[in-house]
Amino acid sequence: MMEGRDVPGYDFGAPTVARSPLGSEDLDLLKQTVLFSEEDEEYLRLAGEVLEDQADEVLDLWYGFVGSHPHLIHYFSGPDGQPDDDYLARVRERFKQWIFDTCLRPYDQQWLDYQQEIALRHTRAKKNQTDGVRAPEYIPLRYIIAFIYPITATIRQFLEGKGHAAEEVEKMHQAWFKSVVLQVTLWSQPYVREGDY
For residue 62, give Cα distances in angstroms to 36, 47, 58, 87, 168.
25, 18, 6, 15, 24
| 7-15, 83-91, 110-118, 142-150 -> range binding a copy of itself (CB under 8 A) | 142-150
142 forms part of the interface with a copy of itself (CB under 8 A): yes
C-alpha atoms less than 13 angstroms from C-alpha of 190 in its C-beta half-sphere: 23
Q: Which residues pair with 83 in a beta bridge?
A: 77
Classified as helix, coil or strand, 161 is coil
**Contact between 129 and a copy of itself per CB under 8 A:** no
Nearest distance in Å: CB 194, a copy of itself? 9
Q: Does 32 bind a copy of itself (CB under 8 A)?
A: yes
- The C-alpha atoms of residue 121 and residue 35 are separated, in whole angstroms, by 27
Neighbouring residues of 193: CB distance < 8 A, sequence distance ≥ 6? none
Complex with a copy of itself: residue 19 or 69, whichever CB lies closer: 69
DSSP 186: H
Verify binding: residue 51, a copy of itself, rule CB under 8 A: no
* Nearest distance, CB of residue 31 and a copy of itself, angstroms: 9
Segment 53 to 82, residues that bind a copy of itself, using CB under 8 A: 69, 71-72
Which range touches a copy of itself (CB under 8 A), out of 9-17, 50-58, 113-121, 133-141?
A: 133-141
Residue among 29, 37, 56, 110 that touches a copy of itself (CB under 8 A) = 29
**CA-to-CA distance for 190 and 196, rounded, in angstroms?**
11
Q: How far is 34 from 83, CA to CA, in rounded Å?
A: 36
Residue from 63, 143, 164, 168 touching a copy of itself (CB under 8 A): that is 143
Contacts of 120 (CB under 8 A, 6+ apart): 18, 126, 190
Among residues 78, 136, 140, 161, the one that binds a copy of itself under rule CB under 8 A: 140
Regarding 146 and contact with a copy of itself (CB under 8 A), the answer is: yes
Residues that bind a copy of itself (CB under 8 A): 26, 29-30, 32-35, 69, 71-72, 123-124, 138, 140-143, 145-150, 152-153, 174, 177-178, 181-182, 184-185, 188-189, 191-193, 196-197
